[in-house]
Amino acid sequence: MWCGQALPRPSVEGTFTLLFTDIEGWTRFAQWLGDQRAHRLLQEHDRILADCVARHSGQVVKYMGDSFMAAFPSATRALHCAVDIQRAFADHNRKHPETPIKVRVGLNSGESIQDRNDYFGTAVSVAARIAHKARGGQILVSEVVRDLAGSVAEVAFRDVGRRQLKGIPGRQRLYDVVW
């Protein structure tokens, strides 16, 4: 026991694929919708994401307002999940053109530390920054994800060149997933 509580689980180090999402233009859109409608739409967003992650054997790590983080033991599963996410939101947007949800998705794979249901490390930061570079409806992945999953994921990649990611040294080669 530690301070009257069970000792925390030890952290786990390993290679994970991290997926981040963010709704493009959410703040302005939410203000236009009003709090009640925005909240209901965000609940639908969260449900779609959680369903997709579960289908691809991932772990929902956390919801952060209109952003989302998930972790996967496989780059291929994460990539298939990202495509599933974009297809689900494209379907939502066709059915509800008055309230489109334009999600940007970023993925990176690398050594990370899993501790208390969260993930830490440079690989995590890179994944979050990649998502920030994407446009609504776009999936951007690191070169590592493309190399790990590219031959088995059955998706096409378009090289978008080297990009500077905020707070990350050097320029990172990114790929657009053609879904």
* Res 150 pLDDT > 90: no
* pLDDT at res. 13: 83
Burial (CB < 10 A; 0-12, 13-18, 19+), residue 53, is buried
Average pLDDT over residues 41-45: 96
> Where along the chain do its domains lie?
13-178
Q: Are strands 12-23 and 103-115 parallel, antiparallel or unpaired?
A: antiparallel
Q: pLDDT for 70-116, tens place per residue?
A: 999 999 999 999 999 999 999 999 999 999 999 999 999 999 999 98
* Res 5 pLDDT > 70: no
Average pLDDT, the chain: 93
DSSP structural state of residue 2? B
Q: pLDDT for 111-120, tens place per residue?
A: 999 998 899 9
The pTM assigned to this predicted structure is 0.91
Q: Are strands 67-72 and 171-178 parallel, antiparallel or unpaired?
A: unpaired
Tell me, which fold does domain 13-178 have in CATH? Alpha-Beta Plaits (3.30.70)
Give CA separation, 104 vs 73, 129, 179, in Å: 21, 11, 13
